[in-house]
Each structure stands twice: as structure tokens, then as C-alpha cells.
Amino acid sequence: MVETLELPAAKTSLDTVLRLRDSAGDESLHLIEWQGYTDRLILWRTLGYLAWLGQNRSERPIKATVIYLSPEDDVGETLVQAPHVPGGWSVTLSCIRLWQQDAQAALESGAPGLMALTPLMRGATAVMVEQAAQGLIQQTAPPSQGELLAALGIFAEPLVSTERFIRLVTKERLMTSDLISYLLKDKLAEMEQAHKQELARLEQEKAGLEQKREQERTRLEQEKAGIRGALHVAIINTLQVRFPNTPSQMLGQVTRIEDAVQLQRVFQLALNAASLSAVKDVLDELVG
């Protein structure tokens, strides 16, 4: 089966492409891919970047190096596609595994980039982190200084607490870093989202409580109405039994009374009054 595939046009940025010039003035390119998480497609993607550079840039040669930050990120350096059969092939890319590099040697090199990566290397200690921080402060200037110190602090977290590191380098130096600004924006966005969710939850709870209150008010009103209705019936029945000639006007007056306390008073009177006129005087007083 033959397939025709349409390749998507995707915009991709290559963050670290070194343009190098040798003593003869010839220029070449070196692509650096930093890998800080597990990605099974990193070698394929790097190969695709090389293909794009080869088609769109004139510098030669074009090299690539994948730098793995930790063993968990390492997916190897070779793509193998049936190399022992016709049409098969394999490609091996240059790889650097930071945990295999010597931290002391990186520190002694005096290279700012290597000093910032010291915590990820073999034999790194808290003392080395402090020495690397002092070296970066002495050898670099803002804004690069802030970027390198921020990276060092993030990589050094397993060795040096955040509070200790901030005391060592000061907040002012770190705040010049775009990385810190980026992380702060992410943190603020996260906090804002959490705040919105909490407000929504509270509003939902408030609406639920208001609904419950309204339901309770309705229930109480229904109960009161039921009590009033029962008292109306009880008073009318009592009057008709005790005073069979009770006029309908007086019975109507009973149904117009809404206050439960007044109804209880009339009910007691209907039960105990010596004459219908005594009941009539009270009804006239209450409802006219």
C-alpha cells in the first residue's frame, strides 16, 4: 500500500545553536539539545533539527550534541533502523551525561556555564555549590549573572536549601533573572487560578446555603400555614359544637386571623367562654 502523507508546517525555535569560526575563517554550526525529562523522541527530533539546518543554512559541518541532565532523562544516543538489512540504517548522536562529568573539574575550570551545572555532576557537594555561586558573582555581570545563579540554585536544590541559597546570593541578584520572572509569573498564574477556584467553590457553597435557607423558610411557612389551618378548623368546630347558632360572619372572622398566638387565645376562649358574645367581643377586637 502506498500512502501520500502531508507534512505539517510547525514553527519551532532552536534555543542553542552555536555558530563557530575556525582559524581559516570557515563557519560551522553546533546544535545543543538540553534534555531534562524523559522523551523517547528526543533523538528523532534532534535528527529533524539537523535536517532543517542542513536545508536552510550554508554553514558546514553541522554537528549536534544532546546533553542529558540526569540518568532518568537518558534515552541513549543511537537511532537504529534495521542496519543489517537492505535499506536499514543507524545514526549515533554525540551525547553528554552530566552525572558522569567531574564536579570539581567543572568548578576549577572557571567557566561560568560549567559552574552553573556543577550540582548535576559527579561528586557535587554543598560546599562546591557555594564556591560556584561565589565564582559566578565574581566573574559575571547582570543580566547573565542572575540567569546563571538562578539555574545554579534550581540544580542545587537537592544539596542546598532554597533559603540558604537565597541568603548566599541575595534576592536582588536572583531577581535580575528572566528565569525567575518566568517562574514567578507561572506561580502567580497558578495562585490566581487557585484563588478563582476557591472563590467559585465559596460561591457555590454560598448558593447552596442560600438554597437550603430558602427551603427551610418555605418549610417553616408551610408548617405555620398548616398550624393556622388546623387552629381555624379547631376553633370553628368548637364554636359550632358549643354554640350551634354561631353566625357565619363570626366563623369568617376566625379564618381572617393569621397570628398563631391570637388563634390560640381564641381557641381557648371558644373552649371555655360562658357565652358566644364573649367570643364575639374578642373577634371584633382582633379583626373588626
* Least reliable range by pLDDT among 54-58, 96-100, 166-170, 278-282: 166-170
Length of the chain equals 288
- List the one residue out of 265, 268, 266, 257 whose CA is nearest residue 224: 257
* Residue 261 confidence (pLDDT) above 80: yes
* Residue 152 confidence (pLDDT) above 70: yes
* Residue 74 confidence (pLDDT) above 70: yes
Query: Which residue do the cell numbers 532543517 mark?
Result: 52
* Residue 32 confidence (pLDDT) above 60: yes
110: left (phi over 0), alpha (psi -120 to 50) or beta: left
171: left (phi over 0), alpha (psi -120 to 50) or beta: alpha
**Which residues on neighbouring strands pair with residue 251, listed in sequence order?**
none
- Give the pLDDT score at 51: 92
- Confidence tier at 95 by pLDDT (50, 70, 90): very high
- Confidence tier at 287 by pLDDT (50, 70, 90): confident
Strands 94-97 and 78-81: unpaired
- Give the angle subtended at the CA of 57 by the CAs of 56 and 63, to the nearest 5°: 115
- Give the angle subtended at the CA of 174 by the CAs of 172 and 179, to the nearest 5°: 140
Whole-model pTM? 0.58
Distance, in Å, from the CA atom of 98 to the CA atom of 108, rounded to the nearest integer, reads 16
* Residue 11 confidence (pLDDT) above 70: no
Distance, in Å, from the CA atom of 215 to the CA atom of 204, rounded to the nearest integer, reads 16
- Confidence tier at 153 by pLDDT (50, 70, 90): confident
**Residue ranges covered by each domain of the chain:** 13-100, 183-287
Residues 268-276: what's their mean pLDDT?
87
